[in-house]
Amino acid sequence: MKRIFAPVSLVMLLAGIVILLGGLSPNPENGQSGETRMSTENSAEVATLGGGCFWCVEAVYERIDGVKSVVSGYAGGDKANPTYEEVCSGSTGHAEVVQVYFDPEVISYEQILDLFWNAHDPTTLNRQGADVGTQYRSIILYNSEAQRTAAERSKAEAATYFDDPIVTEIVQLTTFYEAEKYHQDYYENNPYAGYCTFVIRPKLQKLGLES
């Protein structure tokens, strides 16, 4: 399987990949007040994406210039207010996703999607590595017709860089449920946990987001 690290990495380097100073915690307990978070989110555009465990996807986007905050949660299912345990059971239909709040004057939705294809394997159905289940499916949830069009176009372009077909779903976002507090900023708060050491850190290093 061919990956697209070369062209996408160049785009992101030109956009300026940096670790945002001061952190990007979406929770008051982790350094950002509810008022500050609301102000941040109201002044940004949002992309909703799922590419396996949300801890991984969150850690990637938190290191991108122009991203204001990243919130882990659940979407794409049919149960209201699902818990992590329920989502992991596969019974709710939800995927683990992140909402990426970004400044479109610094980074475009299309660039957010470029990194999405580069940050996970969109050709494996309902799994990323050892994480298996529908909750780990590759999915883009659009909130406007413009996002839907951009996502379809980006998917078609990305498909030329993979040997296997892309299985990523592109569906309309209905409701996003924020995940439990301990999931937010997971890598930042647990850098030496096993999953962070053996899964997230190598991914960040491969993308050039951490030395």
What pTM was estimated for this model as a whole? 0.81
Q: Where is average pLDDT lowest: 41-50, 62-71, 83-92? A: 41-50
Q: Under CATH, which number does the domain 5-206 receive?
A: 3.30.1060.10
Query: Mean per-residue pLDDT for 171-182?
Result: 98
What are the two backbone dihedrals, phi and then psi, of residue 30, each rounded to the nearest 5 degrees? -105, 20
Query: Does the pLDDT at position 132 exceed 70?
Result: yes
- Within 13 Å and on the Cβ side, how many CA atoms surround 150? 16
Q: What angle do CA 28, 30, 33 make, to 5 degrees?
A: 25
Q: For 136-145, how does the pLDDT look when each residue is reduced to its tens digit (9 = 90+)?
A: 999 999 999 9
Which pLDDT value is given to residue 3? 42
Query: Mean per-residue pLDDT for 163-168?
Result: 98
Query: Mean per-residue pLDDT for 16-37?
Result: 38
Partners of 139 in beta bridges: 50, 169
Q: Where is average pLDDT lowest: 31-35, 64-68, 204-208? A: 31-35
* Cβ–Cβ < 8 Å for 128, 136: yes
First to last CA, the chain: 25
**Angstrom distance (rounded) from CA 184 to CA 125:** 25
**Catalytic entry in 53, 56, 88, 196:** 53
Strands 127-128 and 169-172: unpaired
**Is there a catalytic annotation at residue 53?**
yes
Query: Does the pLDDT at position 110 exceed 60?
Result: yes
**Angstrom distance (rounded) from CA 30 to CA 43:** 21
Amino acid at position 173, single letter? L
Long-range contacts formed by 18-23: CB under 8 A, 24+ apart: 18/63, 18/64, 18/65, 19/63, 20/62, 20/63, 20/65, 20/67, 23/185, 23/188
**Angstrom distance (rounded) from CA 155 to CA 27:** 32
Residue of 46, 150, 146, 148 whose CA lies nearest to 98:
46
